[in-house]
């Protein structure tokens, strides 16, 4: 793993997700997150029970290609509880994007649980209005039905798919 130990007073956030695939909504949250934190670790969760459209290697490549010129963004994979992985990489914050009230209710319950189990704080960013309707599941459905998904994802997904 290429995560260095925390520098003095470094604000490190973990942005977890499956990123199947990364969307313009994810991209927006990460770009805005790097303005708030010294480093954003984009962590692709591995769940052997879940069926993915894109392999772990493809999802990682999409993210690495998208942020290849951004030194404040690190791309990693992990298994297990997000709060346990935060301890491994010394992240004090979990970064999450909110698209709608349903996201808020779901994410709020997870944030309360994480805070009860650890000292990790969750920071929520509202998605930009122009991307608030985009989800990975919608992108996958558009791809499955041969629709134009290119307006919903970063260039890395367009050129590598």
Q: Which residue numbers belong to the known binding site for ATP?
A: 18-19, 26, 97-99, 107, 131-137
Residues 6 or more apart whose CB falls under 8 angstroms from that of 51 comprise none
Q: Is 26 tagged catalytic? A: yes
Is 156 catalytic? The answer is no
Pairing type for strands 12-17 and 39-45 reads parallel
Q: Binding site: residue ranges? A: 18-19, 26, 50, 82, 96-99, 107, 131-137
Q: Is 12 a catalytic residue?
A: no
Q: Which of 12, 59, 136, 156 is catalytic?
A: 136
In the annotated binding site for substrate, the residues are 18, 50, 82, 96
- 118 as an active site residue: the answer is no
Give 68's contacts (C-beta < 8 A, 6+ positions apart).
none
Are 57 and 50 contacting, i.e. CB atoms less than 8 angstroms apart? no
Set 12, 26, 59, 74: catalytic member: 26
Q: How far apart are CA 36 and CA 28, in angstroms?
A: 13
Q: Exactly one of 35, 48, 50, 51 is catalytic; which is it?
A: 50
Active site residues: 26, 50, 99, 136
């Amino acid at each position: 793993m290429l995560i260095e130990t925390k520098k003095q007073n470094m604000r490190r956030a973990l942005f977890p997700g499956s990123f199947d695939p990364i969307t313009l909504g994810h991209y927006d949250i990460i770009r805005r997150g790097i303005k708030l934190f010294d480093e954003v670790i984009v962590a692709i969760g591995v769940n052997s029970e879940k069926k993915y459209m894109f392999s772990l290697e493809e999802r990682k490549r999409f993210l690495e290609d998208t942020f290849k010129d951004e030194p404040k963004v690190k791309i990693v994979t992990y298994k297990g509880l997000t709060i346990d992985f935060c301890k491994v990489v010394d992240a004090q914050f979990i970064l999450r994007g909110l698209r709608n009230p349903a996201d808020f209710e779901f994410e709020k319950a997870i944030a309360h649980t994480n805070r009860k189990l650890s000292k990790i704080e969750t920071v929520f960013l509202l998605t930009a209005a122009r991307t608030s309707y985009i989800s990975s599941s919608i992108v996958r459905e558009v791809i499955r039905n041969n629709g134009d998904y290119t307006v919903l994802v970063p260039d890395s997904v367009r050129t590598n798919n």
